[in-house]
Amino acid sequence: MRLLFLFLILCLSACTEKPVIDPCDKEFTADFSIGEDLPGYGFTETDTIIRFAFTAHSVKKYTSYIWQIGEDTRIFHDSTVALKFTAVNAGQSIPIAFTATGNPEGCAAITDLTSKTIKRVTVLYPKGFGRDSLFEPEQLIELPYAGRWQGAFTDTPADTFSVYIVNNGPVPDGSFTTRSYGMRIYNLPRGCAGNPTTGACGFSTPGVDYFGYPMEAGYKAFYCDNTGFLPCCPKAKLYGRVDDTNRNKISITCSFFTDDNGVWKETKRVFAANRLL
């Protein structure tokens, strides 16, 4: 009986032991991300760009790197590559080929493996930026975060309000005499928009007389750095991104700065919202 009991224990122990996986048996892949850089913020991942400048970088450390971008005859060998396209590329889907040598993580093999991955980046131009006539309709795109959003800060979910993201177009007279140009975000936080003529605060429908935070526009994301003066609005840095799987949802991470007896105090909040169709 004791022998049988010991046999059962040994059997159960053997059956529950996890098999040891050799790191060198893992799949070796050339893994990389593509996107565009937002001035002041940095890299934001996307397979569609509107700034005619894209960045690709490996997400792991490899022994060697080889990048081939579309029909460009140049070969790049750093872990990161950044290039600018031209208006000629608008509407194109450009292949980004990345070849890496190395071994799976934890594998100490002497001989390196080679892997090649190809992704594509689509180059488009946003509508309403003053150059629509230079492009064909299929080369233009509406920015997915433009419109009216209803939501709340995640720390006060019952306090809902509307935020407007508006494309006011290029500066009408070619100068900066008006504040109501380009992409702007209004009413974040509530009441952030001022009338430059009367000095009045309190939000109204965005238009020529009201101005909100200016933004650097990417395709799926935008960035605002308004640490200077803007009437009726706190100093702030905002990073917003449309949900990757649902274009009717947005999340905007906010850093608000207030003067606390001569010391600038930062308060971080997240605004989550749904599009009002």
Structure tokens at 265: 């105090």
Contact 38, 238 (CB under 8 A): no
Residue 253, pLDDT score: 96
Residue 48, pLDDT score: 92
| Distance separating alpha carbons of residues 38 and 54, to the nearest angstrom | 10
pLDDT tens-digit map of 204-252: 555 545 667 888 889 989 999 887 766 678 889 999 999 989 999 999 9
Q: In the predicted model, is pLDDT for residue 7 greater than 50?
A: no
| Cα-based distances in Å from 218 to 125, 132, 145, 192 | 10, 17, 10, 22
**Domain residue limits, the chain:** 23-126, 144-275
Contact 23, 105 (CB under 8 A): yes
Closest by CA to 221, choosing from 185, 191, 257, is 185
Q: In the predicted model, is pLDDT for residue 180 greater than 70?
A: no
Residue 8, pLDDT score: 44
Structure tokens at 238: 């905002």
* Cβ neighbours of residue 60 closer than 8 Å, sequence gap 6 or more: 31, 100, 102, 105
| Other residues' Cβ atoms within 10 Å of the Cβ of residue 30 | 22
pLDDT tens-digit map of 93-143: 999 999 999 988 778 777 889 999 999 999 988 887 777 777 888 888 888
| Distance separating alpha carbons of residues 248 and 32, to the nearest angstrom | 28
Q: Calculate the CA 116 to chain-centre distance.
A: 25
* Cβ neighbours of residue 235 closer than 8 Å, sequence gap 6 or more: 226, 227, 228, 256, 257, 258, 264
- Topology of domain 23-126, CATH: Immunoglobulin-like (2.60.40)
Report the pLDDT averaged over residues 64-89.
92
Please tell me the pTM assigned to this model.
0.79
Q: What is the largest CA-CA distance in the chain?
A: 98
| Distance separating alpha carbons of residues 272 and 114, to the nearest angstrom | 43
